[in-house]
Structures are given as structure tokens and as C-alpha cells.
Amino acid sequence: MLLPPLFPNIPPNSIPMKKNVIIIGAGHAGIQAAASLREEGFEGSICIFSEDADFPYQKPPLSKGYLDGSQQKNSIMFRSETWYENNQVELKLGELVEKVDVPQKTVHATSGEYAFDFLVFATGAYNRELPIPIKGTDQPLYLRTMKDADYLKQALDQEDVQDILVIGGGFIGLEIAAYAAKSGKKVTVVEYQPRLMQRVLPPMLSEHFAAKHQAYGVDLRMGVGVQDLTQDSKWLASLSTGETVTADQVIVGIGVLPSQVLAQEAGIRCSNGIEVNEYCETSAAGIYAIGDCALHPNPFAKGQMVRLESVQNAVDQAKAIASTICGKPTSYHQVPWFWTHQYNLKLQMAGLSEGYDQLLVRGDVEGDKFSVFYFKNNQLIAVDSINKPADHLQARKWIQASYTPDLEKLADDSIKLNEC
């Protein structure tokens, strides 16, 4: 019997690569790296270690469709089990990598020691914990993994859980707040900064989101810190204003920190993330870092070192290193993009708006259908779109091509965007 070729995508006269790749982490970055390696014709072994024991799944739905029940476990997994088998990608689920030995080119995991030719850190990030005194038999809830999401959903869906306190007015906290408010809960959001999602949004968009949350009855306390949490029959939070908030459940979303200890202990250079060059290679040759854990020079931030926490960044960095490992050095230079859903507001962001000196709004702000264009030194650097997917897609193309539309045309809603 004639068997089908193992990797049908390999061009007929390429030299097959027969080395070992070990990937640490089975999130967007790790899984995409494996998939892209095979697509590029890599023939060596690929092994992915994942501390998380759940079959590899996507995280964004955890605070969206998975939380509201419209998406189930098997609808958010990356690939089917047969995909891993057919592509000979070995998964070691529930296995922590405890040590990396750079000179020996080995990793030490729970089940033993493994050798690599190339190593990929796709270790992601972990939740920052509340740095305040907490007294109680339970802990406040956090969201990062599917287990967290299952626990959170079960907690929020209980009927006797009515008062919800969300600490942190960033994307994840606000998506959870929106779900709880839509389910009829009484929600309070406490945010230390003076406005919502301050790190990435301009005041007008923070206010737009704030107004929507308030319309759903969410009590927003901005510029306020939580000083301590005490659990009795209910949770009691004391705020920096001297006020207190009581709640049946407390949910914390105050940002993440890069998972870099493993790399650090292996002598690889780290600061706010594992430091990499434009090829996502770390200070150790043949060792890469991609996704949430990678502090990289980003062309869309004028080459500054940044760490991005997004699906786009994880996926595109994975594609780049896969090509590089397969002998086609490929630098990372894709437009950053991101999205969030809260109520009827679907925000899509393209580019990095930090440092903008001019801003233009186009569309129907009251009708929740508009885009904000950001410029720096007369160059388009970013576009945030609310319920305007076509604008978002156009923006991605423009920013990738370093194109700046005509401002006067852009300001005129009667002129089509692709004619600006």
C-alpha cells in the first residue's frame, strides 16, 4: 500500500529539517508555532509542554462567549486531537518545565529531561495579584485559564450572588462586569486610574465605554484604590476614599506579568519580559520567545521595546520564528491589532496609539458606530473602531503599508474610506 506523504506541504526539492523543537506553553503562541513549523515543512520532532492540563484552548472567549454560554469547551479549542496526531506534534499536558539548561540544550520537566536543538518560550503571562491585605476563607476570583473561567461562571451564575465587585477597569475586568450587569447583577467597578482602559484608550473612548456601563447600572468608581478586603457573610472592601463596598463575589483583573522566571534562571536576559531581537531570538542563540512573554522591538512603536498581550502578536511572532527556524530568517513586523466586546460595543484596535498628537473621529458616535484615527507627526499610527469592522480592516492595511490618508477627505463622512 502506498502511504500518503507525511507532510504534504513540503516543496519537492526543499531540504527537510530534522531537528528537535521544544515549545514551552500551549497558548496561541505555542500552538501556532507548531502549526507554522509543519506548514513550512519542518520534519523534526515538535514537543509542546503545557503546565495547563486542559486540552489546548483559546483564551479570549473565556471572558466572552465561553462566559455567557454561547461557546462550549470544544468550540474554543485550537485544533482537534487528530490534528496533533496527523502532524506529529507531541503534547505534554499538565507538565511544568522546571529548568532550562542552555549550554546542555535540555529542559527538565516533571517526567524527565529532554534535549532540543531549538527552544521556544511561549510561556505567556500570569495574573498580577492584589497587593493588599485579604482576610477571609475564600479568595477573590481571577481569570486566565479555562479552570478559572469554569469557576467564575459557576460563581456568577448563582442566584444568591447579586452584588459583584470588579477590581480593575481594564479589558478583562470590564468584559466580566458587562456579562454580570447583563445578567441582572449589581456591579461595582473600582479602578485606580482616573478612567477606564486608560493605558490604551484616549479619554473620549474611555468615556464612551463608561457611559455604556453606567447605562447598564454599573457603579463606576474611578481614581479609587481598594485598601483591604475582608470576608464575613459578605465581602467588604475599604476604598481609598474612606467608603466601603459590600459584595457577594470579588473579581480581580489588574493586569498580567510576563512568565519569565524559567528564562531568567537559565541566564537569558529578561526585564519586563524575555528580551528578544527583531527575529524573536533571546540572548541565547537558537532560543526564541514569542507571545505575551516576549519583550520585543516593535516597528509600529518606532522600534521601541514593547510587550503586547494579544492574539495577533502571539500568532504573528509564532509564524516569524517558524520561518526562521526553517532557514528563512524572518523578522517580526506585523501591525498590532486587538479587540474587546462589552454589551453592543465591539471595539477593534489597529496599530499602537501611544504618543499620538492628533486625533480624528469619523462616523456616528451616538449610534455607537465610529472610528478614531490617531496621528503622530502627520502620520497615521492607529485606528480604534467601534462597530465598524470595515474601517478596522482598512486601517490594518494602511498602517501595515505606512500609508496616511488625506485628512480633509477623512473628515468628510460622505467620502468612502477607501477613497481617502
Ligand X SMILES: Cc1cc2nc3c(=O)[nH]c(=O)nc-3n(C[C@H](O)[C@H](O)[C@H](O)COP(=O)(O)OP(=O)(O)OC[C@H]3O[C@@H](n4cnc5c(N)ncnc54)[C@H](O)[C@@H]3O)c2cc1C
Q: How far is CA 93 from the centre of its chain?
A: 21
Backbone angles phi, psi at 206, to 5 degrees: -55, -45
Contact call for residue 89 and ligand X (CB under 6 A)? no
Contact call for residue 335 and other proteins (CB under 8 A)? no
The CA-based angle 400-405-411, given to 5 degrees, is: 135
| Cell digits of residue 158 | 448563582
CA distances from 275 to 107, 290, 297 (A): 20, 10, 9
Cβ proximity of 376 and 353 under 8 Å: no
Nearer to other proteins, 360 or 393 (CB): 393
Question: Residue 403: in which H helix or E strand, if any?
Answer: none
Cβ proximity of 267 and 101 under 8 Å: no
Report the residue from 35, 76, 120, 143 that binds ligand X according to the rule CB under 6 A: 143
Nearer to ligand X, 190 or 318 (CB): 318
CA distances from 291 to 130, 173, 225, 364 (A): 24, 21, 30, 35
CA distances from 171 to 119, 149, 174, 285 (A): 31, 15, 5, 35
Q: What is the rounded distance in angstroms from the CA atom of residue 286 to the CA atom of residue 294? A: 15
Window 127-156: residues binding other proteins (CB under 8 A): none
| Cell digits of residue 247 | 459584595
Contact call for residue 50 and other proteins (CB under 8 A)? no
Cβ proximity of 249 and 235 under 8 Å: yes
Q: What is the rounded distance in angstroms from the CA atom of residue 110 to the CA atom of residue 95? A: 6
Window 351-410: residues binding ligand X (CB under 6 A): none
Report the residue from 14, 80, 110, 331 that binds other proteins according to the rule CB under 8 A: 80
Nearer to other proteins, 83 or 216 (CB): 83
Nearer to other proteins, 109 or 311 (CB): 311
Nearer to other proteins, 206 or 385 (CB): 385
Report the residue from 43, 248, 281, 309 that binds ligand X according to the rule CB under 6 A: 309
Contact call for residue 74 and other proteins (CB under 8 A)? yes
Contact call for residue 324 and other proteins (CB under 8 A)? no
Of 398, 388, 405, 290, whose CA–CA distance to 339 is shortest? Answer: 388
Number of residues that bind other proteins (CB under 8 A): 31
Contact call for residue 108 and other proteins (CB under 8 A)? no
Nearer to ligand X, 257 or 359 (CB): 257
Of 402, 206, 202, 200, whose CA–CA distance to 309 is shortest? Answer: 200
Contact call for residue 311 and ligand X (CB under 6 A)? yes
Binding mask 345-384 for other proteins (x = CB under 8 A): -x-x------------------------------------
Q: Which positions lie near ligand X, rule CB under 6 A? A: 24-30, 49-52, 59-60, 62-63, 96-97, 122-125, 143-144, 172, 259, 262, 291-292, 309-312, 314, 338-340
Q: Which positions lie near other proteins, rule CB under 8 A? A: 8, 58, 60-61, 64-65, 71, 74-80, 82-83, 86, 311-312, 315, 339, 341, 346, 348, 387-390, 393-394, 396
